[in-house]
Amino acid sequence: MKRFIQSTDRTQATLFPEQLEDFVAEDNPVRVVDVFVEQLDLGKLGFDGVTPMKTGRPAYHPTVLLKLYIYGYLNRIQSSRRLERESQRNLELIWLMERLAPDFKTIANFRKDNGKAIRKVCSQFVALCRKLNLLTEATVAIDGSKFKAVNNRDNNFTTNKIKRRREQIEASIERYLSALETADRQDQVDFTEAKIQRLQEKIALLKEQMARLDNIETELEKTPDKQISLTDPDARSMATSGRGTGIVGYNVQTAVETKHHLIVAHEVTNVGHDRNQLANMAEQAKTAIGVDELTTIADRGYFSSEEIRKCHENGIIPIVPKCTTSGAKADGRFDKADFIFEAEKNEYQCPAGQRLIWRFSGVEHGLTLHRYWSSYCPQCPIKAQCTPSNYRRVSRWEHEDILDTMQARLDRAPDSMRIRRQTVEHPFGTLKAWMGLTHFLTKTLDRVSTEMSLHVLAYNLKRVMNILGTAALMEAMVA
């Protein structure tokens, strides 16, 4: 007769009690967390409480709380209250923390008070990856993604949003006042005293909201970017890829190496665009990988002449497609790309075969531009295909040759954008899935940066465990 697998009686006593060690397998990832944190010099990294105070209640060593957080972010447990519960019932955490169970306030304060040190721990693991020869590819892909803040959209204000909200309130007040006038003209049977009182209360509430908007507008004028968030003061309203959509949050920048898809550098910003981030992220990635020359791939949102020049001067080879913003091409006329520059003569050749010679130089938006045009333009037979003005003027930046070289490099490597997409967008998808597609739990740029560092550290840990295996990684850590 077949039988089911039998369970153990809960009241059964054992002569030799089981040890915690018996419940954690040798290849369990929690052992990697334990070994990694134990080999760190937390005092050198700047953690508070490494040396105990001579007086007062004994505190938890930062090693314990750091292990707790890394385990939590590896397993999608980021809340301090959830970490408190898990430390009391999760066998892996009980093993990792040797039966210690700090309260949620202690856990939350550790992350709040040790932000800079936690971010250094993330950098320490990238350095370990370099030591393990996992960062041998001197090519990174850079991209940014918007992450939602704890701040709700209704608690974020701009000048236009206040104007629209004020118009809505005024329309509502007008509607309620009209209803009260109707009540005065009709019998009390149709409009009870309760209904009239409710209308008056709504009008009073709307007037309070109007006064609150006036106060917010006053504070708004003091801000440099004319935007204010009430819950998280550093969060900003940002447009996303969907037309007419956006979130209140942060723009997270990452640099991901192309071989193993490890995040070698990251930074949290509250600027909604990527135009000024290329050189900064590329330099961080170059330092993290430890190479003299680095190739950086990014999308057209990073195209900035000055940023590309900075990369060129710092031994970084950028591959960024140009932004297509030509009004002439959109109208069906010749684009600037149809004019051929001859460096030896310092002149352009137009589609009609005429020479556009240098006329003068000027500074626009901080860039030195040279102007070229031809005296032949007024009598040119194909002028209608070129310009509606008397002359077709072409501008050239003083370092335009750097952009031409980069474009030629992109033309020789047409699969660069595919490599960028499959490299840098994959980590963002993973990180947002780990976060439960919700939002950051902390407020202000500094604390959100700490939270992001924990996410990145957990991501890199899991990637390296998948590449090397837990046993090999632990052996390399103690070597």
pLDDT tens figures, 229-248: 889 999 998 887 766 678 89
Residue the block writes with tokens 């850590």: 477
- Mean pLDDT over residues 250-264, rounded? 95
Torsion of CA 5, 10, 15, 17, to 10 degrees: 90
Round to whole Å and give the CA distance between 332 and 9. Answer: 83
Residue the block writes with tokens 């990369």: 311
Name the least confident of 144-148, 242-246, 273-277, 470-474.
Answer: 242-246
- Mean pLDDT over residues 418-430, rounded? 92
pLDDT at 402: 92
pLDDT at 479: 77
pLDDT digits (tens, 9 = 90+) for 288-336: 999 999 999 999 999 999 999 999 999 999 999 987 766 677 777 888 8
Q: Which of 319, 323, 241, 238 is nearest to 278 (CA)?
A: 319
Q: Which of 343, 330, 317 is nearest to 407 (CA)?
A: 317
Q: In whole numbers, what is the pLDDT of the chain averaged over residues?
A: 89
Both tokens of residue 53? 């105070």
List, in order, residues 6 or more apart from 356 with CB less than 8 Å away: 339, 347, 348, 349, 350, 372, 373, 374, 392, 394
Phi, psi for 263 (deg, rounded to 5):
-80, 110
Round to whole Å and give the CA distance between 32 and 470. Answer: 6
* Residues 39/478, Cβ–Cβ less than 8 Å: yes
List, in order, residues 6 or more apart from 272 with CB less than 8 Å away: 146, 236, 237, 238, 239, 251
Burial bucket for residue 355 (CB in 10 Å: 0-12, 13-18, 19+): middle
Q: What is the DSSP string of 1-13?
A: ---PPPPPPTT--
* Residues 278/298, Cβ–Cβ less than 8 Å: yes
Query: Integer distance in angstroms from the first to the last C-alpha of the chain?
Result: 55
Confidence band of 186 (pLDDT split at 50, 70, 90): low
Confidence band of 8 (pLDDT split at 50, 70, 90): confident
- Mean pLDDT over residues 453-457, rounded? 95
CA distances, 91 to each of 66, 72, 77, 95, 474 (Å): 18, 13, 15, 6, 21
pLDDT digits (tens, 9 = 90+) for 110-168: 999 999 999 999 999 999 999 999 998 889 999 999 999 998 888 888 888 888 888 88
pLDDT at 244: 61
Residue 203 has pLDDT above 60, yes or no: yes
pLDDT at 366: 84
Greater pLDDT, 195 or 134: 134
Residue 90 has pLDDT above 70, yes or no: yes
Residue 74 has pLDDT above 90, yes or no: yes
Q: What percent of the chain has pLDDT over 90?
A: 54
* pTM, entire model: 0.87
E-strand stretches of 98-245: 139-148, 156-158, 227-229, 236-239
pLDDT at 17: 66
Q: What is the DSSP string of 35-65?
A: HHHHTS-HHHHT-TTSSPPSSSS----HHHH
